[in-house]
Structure 1
């Protein structure tokens, strides 16, 4: 169902090729534009969920598209940052690997009729990733601040939280799964 929240989510998906294109041509202007488009896309993430709940327009399509749009946006930027030499490939592999593992776990849960909602660590992980990516996308000094160094530090912090939150999701899921099997057996 198309409504305003879902349209905002689709707008976030549509922003991904533009951000990638801007990042593909490194320069001061394209870096600034890519950063602005990324920030705007991230703001739609907060806005679409808030609007969906407030307007009672939470849909199955929105529940599917929202996390997909987030992952597409973040992972695309991370890959471009590796291509530009601004992010270590091993860090990006771990972050994307976590996303794939949690997505797979959610698919198993859905098959069993369970919904695994985002927890506080998963939400904080997303915020920290976004905060790290903004200075890395810009990648230049800004008013005497070394945005590349700041972004790199934040990316490592985001990596720690990303791995922890992924472990937390998987641990809780399998603990609940085993606990449920004990009751059935």
Structure 2
């Protein structure tokens, strides 16, 4: 369980309390630190997957832990941004609901012997969410540049892709399930 990729996923989860504390009483410095910690944690997602595939240490625990770490990290930042009044709650609700629904769908699919792997839309969705959350977490203007509009544009794009990719997973599952039931 404690191979390097899984340890990186656990480290990503371990950053969440630090992010919450940094954002609980926001200031220019705490927001900058939160954004840097979030970026570093997000980068471990790329690294752990690369290492797992490269060193051929893909594990069942890792297949569960890696996406869980992503969902917890992104969900925690979204919730804190709602708490601070920096984004509207409905955005957070849609994103987190989609993540829970797709996770549930994967569990149901596994019960039917199907695997629903992340596709390119799901991966792009995660990249856009991270791209949105970095400037939104930074929040305060730096060098005369307000990061909020950039973050909101990315967040709305991520929101559209979140809904689209979630729908795509459900459509693909239903097609696959119907074809298995009629076979």
| Residue 138 of structure 1: aligned partner | 138
Structure 2 distance, partners of 1:175, 1:132, is 32
What's the offset of the Cα at 1:2? 1.1
Mark the runs of 5 or more structure 2 residues left unpaired by the alignment.
none
Structure 2 distance, partners of 1:73, 1:67, is 10
What's the offset of the Cα at 1:114? 1.5
| Residue 32 of structure 1: aligned partner | 32
| Residue 48 of structure 1: aligned partner | 48
Q: How does 1:11-22 map to 2 (within 5 A)?
A: 11-22=11-22
Q: How does 1:56-71 map to 2 (within 5 A)?
A: 56-71=56-71
Structure 2 distance, partners of 1:113, 1:179, is 13
Structure 1 distance, partners of 2:173, 2:157, is 24
Structure 2 distance, partners of 1:176, 1:135, is 39
Structure 2 length as normaliser, TM-score?
0.98
Matched, 1:115 2:133: no
Structure 1 length as normaliser, TM-score?
0.97
What's the offset of the Cα at 1:144? 2.2
Q: Bigger CA drift: 149-158 or 6-15?
A: 149-158
What's the offset of the Cα at 1:180? 1.1
Give CA deviations for 1:118-169 in whole Å, capped at 9, x if unaligned: 0000000000000000000000112222101111111111100100000000
What's the offset of the Cα at 1:112? 1.4
| Residue 147 of structure 1: aligned partner | 147
Instruction: Let me know the Cα RMSD of the aligned residues.
Output: 0.7
Mark the runs of 5 or more structure 1 residues left unpaired by the alignment.
none
Segments of 4+ in structure 1 off by > 4 A? Answer: none
The aligned length equals: 183
SS in structure 2 of the partner of residue 124 of structure 1: helix
